[in-house]
Amino acid sequence: MISFNILISLGSFIVFLLLHLIIWRNRDSYRGVNLILIISVIAYSITIFLISFYSQSVIKIWMTLPTYYCLIILYAHLYIGLLKSVSIRIIEELYSSSKFKMTKNEIDNIYPVREMVLSRLSLLEENNWIKEENGSYKCLKKAIIIAKVNLFLHKIYRLKNTG
Protein backbone atom coordinates (compact mmCIF):
# COMPACT_ATOMS: atom_id res chain seq x y z
CA MET A 1 0.00 0.00 0.00
CA ILE A 2 2.83 2.39 0.89
CA SER A 3 4.80 1.71 -2.27
CA PHE A 4 1.60 1.96 -4.34
CA ASN A 5 0.93 5.47 -3.00
CA ILE A 6 4.54 6.54 -3.47
CA LEU A 7 4.37 5.24 -7.05
CA ILE A 8 1.28 7.39 -7.65
CA SER A 9 3.21 10.47 -6.48
CA LEU A 10 6.18 9.58 -8.68
CA GLY A 11 3.90 8.75 -11.61
CA SER A 12 2.11 12.11 -11.26
CA PHE A 13 5.49 13.84 -11.18
CA ILE A 14 6.59 12.10 -14.39
CA VAL A 15 3.30 13.12 -16.07
CA PHE A 16 3.97 16.67 -14.84
CA LEU A 17 7.49 16.67 -16.31
CA LEU A 18 6.20 15.41 -19.65
CA LEU A 19 3.43 18.03 -19.84
CA HIS A 20 5.87 20.73 -18.72
CA LEU A 21 8.36 19.75 -21.42
CA ILE A 22 5.73 19.59 -24.19
CA ILE A 23 4.18 22.95 -23.23
CA TRP A 24 7.52 24.74 -22.75
CA ARG A 25 8.84 23.58 -26.09
CA ASN A 26 5.70 24.59 -27.98
CA ARG A 27 4.67 27.81 -26.28
CA ASP A 28 6.31 31.20 -26.76
CA SER A 29 4.06 33.37 -24.57
CA TYR A 30 3.79 33.27 -20.74
CA ARG A 31 5.68 30.33 -19.18
CA GLY A 32 5.94 31.35 -15.53
CA VAL A 33 5.56 29.70 -12.15
CA ASN A 34 1.75 30.04 -12.20
CA LEU A 35 1.66 27.88 -15.32
CA ILE A 36 3.86 25.30 -13.55
CA LEU A 37 1.30 25.23 -10.72
CA ILE A 38 -1.61 24.78 -13.15
CA ILE A 39 0.24 21.95 -14.94
CA SER A 40 0.99 20.29 -11.61
CA VAL A 41 -2.75 20.20 -10.76
CA ILE A 42 -3.63 18.86 -14.22
CA ALA A 43 -0.89 16.18 -14.09
CA TYR A 44 -2.05 14.96 -10.67
CA SER A 45 -5.73 14.91 -11.74
CA ILE A 46 -4.92 12.94 -14.91
CA THR A 47 -2.87 10.37 -12.96
CA ILE A 48 -5.52 9.91 -10.26
CA PHE A 49 -8.28 9.62 -12.88
CA LEU A 50 -6.35 6.99 -14.88
CA ILE A 51 -5.42 4.94 -11.81
CA SER A 52 -8.98 5.06 -10.42
CA PHE A 53 -10.23 3.95 -13.82
CA TYR A 54 -7.91 0.96 -14.20
CA SER A 55 -7.33 -0.09 -10.58
CA GLN A 56 -9.53 -1.04 -7.65
CA SER A 57 -6.91 -0.05 -5.05
CA VAL A 58 -7.72 2.71 -2.60
CA ILE A 59 -5.73 5.87 -3.31
CA LYS A 60 -4.69 7.79 -0.20
CA ILE A 61 -4.93 11.35 -1.49
CA TRP A 62 -3.58 12.80 1.77
CA MET A 63 -0.44 10.77 1.40
CA THR A 64 0.17 11.03 -2.32
CA LEU A 65 -0.56 14.77 -2.54
CA PRO A 66 2.10 15.98 -0.02
CA THR A 67 4.75 13.68 -1.53
CA TYR A 68 3.84 14.86 -5.03
CA TYR A 69 3.90 18.56 -4.08
CA CYS A 70 7.16 18.05 -2.24
CA LEU A 71 8.64 16.91 -5.58
CA ILE A 72 6.96 19.81 -7.40
CA ILE A 73 8.37 22.45 -5.05
CA LEU A 74 11.83 20.85 -5.27
CA TYR A 75 11.57 21.07 -9.05
CA ALA A 76 10.24 24.67 -8.88
CA HIS A 77 13.29 25.61 -6.77
CA LEU A 78 15.61 24.09 -9.36
CA TYR A 79 13.72 25.78 -12.20
CA ILE A 80 13.68 29.26 -10.64
CA GLY A 81 17.25 28.86 -9.40
CA LEU A 82 18.63 27.98 -12.82
CA LEU A 83 16.48 30.55 -14.61
CA LYS A 84 16.84 33.60 -12.37
CA SER A 85 20.10 33.19 -10.49
CA VAL A 86 22.76 35.78 -11.32
CA SER A 87 25.43 33.47 -9.86
CA ILE A 88 24.42 30.59 -12.17
CA ARG A 89 24.45 32.97 -15.15
CA ILE A 90 28.03 34.07 -14.28
CA ILE A 91 29.13 30.41 -14.04
CA GLU A 92 27.50 29.68 -17.43
CA GLU A 93 29.25 32.65 -19.05
CA LEU A 94 32.60 31.50 -17.67
CA TYR A 95 31.93 27.97 -18.95
CA SER A 96 31.15 29.34 -22.44
CA SER A 97 34.23 31.60 -22.54
CA SER A 98 37.63 30.59 -23.87
CA LYS A 99 39.81 28.92 -21.21
CA PHE A 100 36.86 29.31 -18.76
CA LYS A 101 38.26 32.70 -17.81
CA MET A 102 36.89 36.24 -17.95
CA THR A 103 37.81 39.66 -16.59
CA LYS A 104 35.51 41.58 -14.26
CA ASN A 105 34.87 44.10 -17.07
CA GLU A 106 33.80 41.34 -19.46
CA ILE A 107 31.31 40.09 -16.86
CA ASP A 108 30.04 43.66 -16.40
CA ASN A 109 29.51 43.87 -20.18
CA ILE A 110 27.52 40.66 -20.48
CA TYR A 111 25.56 41.46 -17.35
CA PRO A 112 24.76 45.20 -17.53
CA VAL A 113 23.36 46.06 -14.10
CA ARG A 114 22.03 49.41 -15.32
CA GLU A 115 19.70 47.71 -17.82
CA MET A 116 18.70 45.25 -15.14
CA VAL A 117 17.60 48.09 -12.82
CA LEU A 118 15.74 49.92 -15.61
CA SER A 119 13.86 46.79 -16.72
CA ARG A 120 12.96 45.99 -13.10
CA LEU A 121 11.65 49.54 -12.58
CA SER A 122 9.49 49.23 -15.71
CA LEU A 123 8.12 45.92 -14.48
CA LEU A 124 7.31 47.35 -11.04
CA GLU A 125 5.60 50.34 -12.68
CA GLU A 126 3.63 48.08 -15.00
CA ASN A 127 2.33 46.15 -11.99
CA ASN A 128 1.35 49.35 -10.14
CA TRP A 129 3.95 49.04 -7.41
CA ILE A 130 5.66 52.32 -8.23
CA LYS A 131 5.00 55.38 -10.41
CA GLU A 132 7.23 57.78 -12.29
CA GLU A 133 6.90 61.53 -11.71
CA ASN A 134 9.29 64.03 -13.33
CA GLY A 135 11.95 61.38 -13.95
CA SER A 136 11.83 60.01 -10.36
CA TYR A 137 10.13 56.92 -9.01
CA LYS A 138 7.83 56.78 -5.97
CA CYS A 139 6.22 53.86 -4.11
CA LEU A 140 2.48 53.28 -4.49
CA LYS A 141 0.25 51.90 -1.73
CA LYS A 142 1.06 48.17 -1.99
CA ALA A 143 4.80 48.86 -2.34
CA ILE A 144 4.66 51.00 0.83
CA ILE A 145 3.06 48.12 2.77
CA ILE A 146 5.62 45.61 1.41
CA ALA A 147 8.54 47.96 2.18
CA LYS A 148 7.32 48.45 5.77
CA VAL A 149 6.94 44.69 6.26
CA ASN A 150 10.37 44.15 4.69
CA LEU A 151 12.04 46.68 7.02
CA PHE A 152 10.34 45.07 10.03
CA LEU A 153 11.58 41.63 8.92
CA HIS A 154 15.11 43.01 8.43
CA LYS A 155 14.99 44.17 12.02
CA ILE A 156 13.79 40.92 13.60
CA TYR A 157 16.07 38.76 11.42
CA ARG A 158 18.99 41.16 12.09
CA LEU A 159 19.67 41.39 8.34
CA LYS A 160 22.17 44.01 7.20
CA ASN A 161 23.43 43.47 3.66
CA THR A 162 20.24 42.68 1.76
CA GLY A 163 19.67 42.89 -1.97
Partner 1 sequence: MELVLLTIAISILIPIFHILLINIFRIDGLHIKLMFVSFLLYIFVGIIITQVIFQGSNEIIMYYITSLSTSVFMCLFYMEAFSMIARGFSMRIVTDLFIQKSLSPEKLMEDYADGKGINWMLEKRINGIENLNLITKQSNNITLSSNYSFFIAYISLNFKKILKLGRGG
Site for partner 1 in 74-93 (CB under 8 A): 74, 77, 80, 82-92
- 15 half-sphere exposure, CB direction, 13 A CA radius: 21
Q: Which residues contact 159 (CB under 8 A, 6 or more apart)?
A: 153
**17 is an interface residue for partner 1 by CB under 8 A:** no
Residue ranges in 93-122 that form contacts with partner 1 under rule CB under 8 A: 94-96, 99-105, 107-108, 111, 113-114, 116-118, 120-121
Residue ranges in 27-46 that form contacts with partner 1 under rule CB under 8 A: none
Size of the site for partner 1 (CB under 8 A): 78
Of 115, 116, 90, residue with least CA distance to 103? 90
- 152 half-sphere exposure, CB direction, 13 A CA radius: 6
The Cα 115–Cα 119 span in angstroms is: 6
Residues in contact with partner 1, shown as a per-residue x/- string from 124 to 153 under the rule CB under 8 A: x----xx--x-xxxxx---xx-xxx-xx-x
Report in angstroms how near the CB of residue 22 gets to partner 1 at its nearest.
Answer: 11
